[in-house]
A and B are shown apart, each in its own frame.
Chain A
Amino acid sequence: MTETSQRPRPLRVLAAMSGGVDSAVAAARAAEAGHDVTGVHLALSANPQSFRTGARGCCTIEDSRDARRAADVIGIPFYVWDLAERFREDVVDDFVAEYEAGRTPNPCLRCNEKIKFAALLDKALALGFDAVCTGHYAKVLVNEDGTRELHRASDMAKDQSYVLGVLDDRQLAHALFPLGDTLTTKDEIRAEAERRGLAVAKKPDSHDICFIADGDTQGFLSKRLGKAEGDIVDESGTVVGSHEGAYGFTIGQRKGLRIGTPAADGKPRYVLDISPVNNTVTVGPVAALDVSALTAIKPRWCGAVPTGPGTYTAQLRAHGGETEVRAELVNDTLEVTFTEPVRGVAPGQAIVLYADTRVVGSATIATTERATAAV
C-alpha cells in the first residue's frame, strides 16, 4: 500500500486554493513532489465582499487575492473559476431546505460532495488533469488492486475525513491530500508556509460557514425563510416559550432558547425535537437527548459495500468524538445501534463509519431512537 502523494508518476494536478494557509501549503507540497500543479480559486459567491470580516468566510475578493499571491510564490499558474451558481444550488439552497425541514445539514461535506469532488473534479478531468488537490487533512491509501482507501489524517486533532466520507472510490482515485500524512500541528503548517514564503502563513483560520460571513446562521435563515412564530413545548406538550422559526434550531441546542418558564427540576433544557410540520420545537432535560439507535439514508461506501451487520466506530458530527456502533444495511437504509447511548444526534448530519482509521462509508442521519422513553 502506498500513499497517493508519494506516487512516483508526476500528475497534472488542479489545486483548489481557498486563500487559506492549508490549501496553499497543500499546493506547494504537490508542486514540490514534482506534480504539474495549476491553482484555482473557486468563486462561490455571486456578490463577493471585498474583504474578510474577522476570521470568518473564504469567499471574498481578498481571499482570491491571497490565493493568487500564494500561487505566485509557489510558481504555478492560477485562475479563478466561477462556481457560484452551482454552489448556490447544491450547497446554499440545500442548506436552507434542510433547516426548513427540521434537519441540521453540514454544508462543508455537501461542498466536497457536490462542488470540489464533483463539479470541479469533473471539469478538471475533462480538461486533462489527473487529480484535484485540497488542503484537507485526510489520507488516501492505494491497495494492491488499485482501489483506494480513505483514512483519518495522521494528526487526529486535525482530521477531516468526516467531511470527505461521502467520496466514493472514483472520487478518491482523483483526490490528493498532501497534508493528510503529516503528523503536524497547525502551528507547524503555518511555520512551513512561512518557510515557503507564503504570506498566508499568519492568516487566521476560516471557520464556521463560509457563506454566512457574520456567523449568524439564525439571521441568515430568517432572511431566507422569513419569520414563522411558533411554540416551544416541553415533553408533556405544555407550551413553555415561543420562537420565530423552528428552522433556526438544532437538536441538542441549549443556548438562545429564551424560555420564560423554568423547568420543574430547575435544570437546563435542550432542544430534543424540531417539527417543521406544526412549527414546534420540543425541549427537555439533557438525559432525553440520549440516543440508542438511528437510521441513516443515502449511504455512500468507500470501497466494498459491507454485507451483514458489523461493528464499527462512528463519528456523528464534524470534530465529534468516536463511538462504537453496530451497523447493518437493510434495504439501502443504514440501521445503527450504539453500544453506549450518545447525546445530541441531529438528523441531517452525516454518520461516518470507520474500521480503525479507515473510512468505511457515510450516510445521512434520518431518524433517531431515544434511549429513554419517547416524547
Chain B
Amino acid sequence: MAYLDHAATTPMLPEAALAMTAQFAVTGNASSLHAAGRRARRTVEESRETLAESLGARPSEVVLTSGGTEADNLAVKGLYWSRRDADPARTRVLASPVEHHAVLDAVDWLGEHEGATVEYLPVDRYGRVHPEALREAIARNPDDVALATVMWANNEIGTIMPVRELADVAGEFGIPLHADAVQAFGQIPVDFGASGLAAMTVSGHKIGGPYGIGALLLGREYTPVPVLHGGGQERHVRSGTLDVPAVAAFAVAGRTAAEQREWFGREIGSLRDDLVDAVRAAVPDAILGGDPAEGGRLPANAHFTFPGCEGDSLLLLLDAQGIECSTGSACTAGVAQPSHVLLATGTDPDLARGTLRFSLGHTSTEADVEAVGKAIGPAVERARTAGLS
C-alpha cells in the first residue's frame, strides 16, 4: 500500500494516540469546579500552552474548536459580524478564490444571507495572492472592508502565500486578515505572533492528531460574534464542552509537528522531489501544479495535471494497485467537479478534470514513490484511452 493522501488526513502519531487513550480513562468536565474538573482543566490548559508554543502564539490566543471547518467559519462569519456591528459600512469581504470550501462557502454564505459584498482577489498562475493585489482591493475603499481571508498554503496545489506581507498590507488599513493554515502547520514555519494575522486556523488530524479537534488562533483584540452559542467555554466566542482527550492528543501532535518541521521539510520534501521526477519521467507531458520553485510550495505536495485523462479514471486505476491519492478537487455527493483552484489559476476546464494530488506525510517512504513511478505511466496511458467522457 502507498498512502499518498496525507493532505486529506495523516495517520495519527502513536504518541498522540497514547495521550488520547490515557485521557479516556479519566473523568472530568474542564468547566467543573471540583477536583476532577480541575484535573481536566489542567490538561486542557497545559495542552493550550503547548499548542501556543508550537505556533508562536500566547495561550489566550488559542480558541479550541471542533476542527478546521468550525475555526474557519468562526473567523470568517464571526469577524464579519463583529466588524459590521462596530461599523455598518463594513460589508466587503476580500478572499482568495483558491480557499478551502470551509472558507469559500462561509464567505459566499455571507454574500447570500448577510448582505456582504464578496470580492475575490486576483491570483497568479500558481494561485498566489500578491500583496499589491490586496492593497489595490482595500485601497478602493478601506472603510467598507470587514475582513480579508487568504490561506497560508493551498491544499490542492501546495502554493504558499506571502502571509506576512499580506498581513502588513491589511494591518496598514487596520483590517483583520485571517489565514487558513491547516495545510501549512507542520510543513513550513508557522508563527502566529510574527505573522501579523488577526486569526489563523489549524486542525488536529492533518498533523497526526485526532479528528474533530482544531483551533482558531485569535488575536486578543478580536471578539468575533460566536457561531455556536452556549456555555461560552472558549473566550466566550466558542461554546461546547471541551473534548479533553482530543485536546491532549492535539497538543502532542502539535508539539511534534513543530519539533519535526525542519526534518519534515528536508526529508519529505526530498521524497516529494523524487516523486515529481518519477512522474515526469514516466509521463513527460504531465503538468506540475502550483509553484515549482523551492520554497514556493508545501514540501509534501505534488499536484499534476495529465492532459487527456480524467482524474477519476486515474484514481480508480491507482487505487486498484494500492496507491491512494486524490483527484485534488472538491467533492459533491462523491462526484468530482473541476477544481475551483485550478479554474482560478486559469486552467482550461477540460484540462482541470485530469488532475491528481499526491500528498506525502510522516509515514511516507521511498517505496511509496517507487510504486507511483512504476504505476503512473501505464495508468495514464490507459486513462487516456478511456478519455474524457
Contacts and interface: CB of A to CB of B under 8 A. Distances in A.
Interface of A: 38, 41, 43, 48, 61, 64, 68, 77, 79-84, 86, 119, 122-123, 126-128
A354 to B, nearest CB: 33
A126 B308 CA distance: 13
Main secondary structure of the interface of B (DSSP, over half): helix
Nearest to A81: B312
Given A43-B333, A82-B335, A128-B382, A77 B389 contact: no
B88 interface: no
Interface string B335-373: 111000000000000000000000000000000000000
B383 interface: yes
A364 B187 CA distance: 62
B382 A126 contact: yes
Contact of B316 (A61, A79, A83, A86): A79
Contacts of A84: 335
B318 to A, nearest CB: 11
A284 to B, nearest CB: 46
B320 A48 contact: no
Contact of B334 (A68, A77, A127): A68
Contacts of A38: 316, 320
A86 B389 contact: yes
Contacts of B335: 43, 80-82, 84
Q: Which of A86, A122, A127, A128 has the most CB of B within 10 A?
A: A127
Contact of A128 (B315, B317, B333, B334): B317
Contact of B312 (A41, A79, A86, A119): A79
A122 B387 CA distance: 10
A43 B334 CA distance: 9
A196 B307 CA distance: 42
Q: Which of B335, B336, B382 has the most CB of A within 10 A?
A: B335
Q: Which 7 A-B pairs have the closest CB atoms?
A: A126-B386, A80-B334, A126-B385, A82-B335, A61-B333, A43-B335, A123-B386
A42 B316 CA distance: 15
27 contacts: A38-B316, A38-B320, A61-B333, A64-B333, A64-B334, A68-B334, A77-B319, A77-B320, A80-B333, A80-B334, A81-B335, A81-B389, A82-B337, A83-B389, A86-B389, A119-B389, A122-B386, A122-B389, A123-B313, A123-B386, A126-B313, A126-B387, A127-B313, A127-B316, A127-B317, A127-B382, A128-B382
A127 B383 contact: yes
Contacts of B389: 81, 83, 86, 119, 122-123
Contacts, number: 52
A21 to B, nearest CB: 20
Contacts of B387: 123, 126
The bracket for how many chain B residues form the interface is: 10 to 19
Nearest to A86: B389
Contacts of B383: 126-127
A127 B383 CA distance: 6
Contacts of B313: 123, 126-127
Contacts of A126: 313, 382-383, 385-387
Contacts of A81: 312, 335, 389
A39 to B, nearest CB: 11
B320 A82 contact: no
Nearest to A128: B382
Nearest to B316: A79
Nearest to A80: B334
B386 A127 contact: yes
Nearest to A50: B333
A43 B385 CA distance: 22
Given A79-B334, A123-B389, 13 more contacts: A43-B333, A43-B335, A64-B334, A68-B334, A79-B315, A82-B312, A82-B337, A83-B389, A84-B335, A123-B387, A126-B383, A127-B313, A128-B317
Q: Which of B315, B320, B337, B389 has the most CB of A within 10 A?
A: B389
A61 B382 CA distance: 29
A212 B335 CA distance: 21
Q: Which of B315, B316, B320, B386 has the most CB of A within 10 A?
A: B316
Nearest to B378: A128
A114 to B, nearest CB: 12
B378 to A, nearest CB: 10
Contacts of A77: 316, 319-320
A86 B388 CA distance: 11
B349 to A, nearest CB: 12
Q: Which of B319, B333, B387 has the most CB of A within 10 A?
A: B333
Nearest to B353: A82
Contacts of A83: 389
Contacts of A127: 313, 316-317, 382-383, 386
A77 B317 CA distance: 11
Contacts of A61: 333
A77 B131 CA distance: 45
Contacts of B382: 126-128
Nearest to A14: B316
A43 B335 CA distance: 7
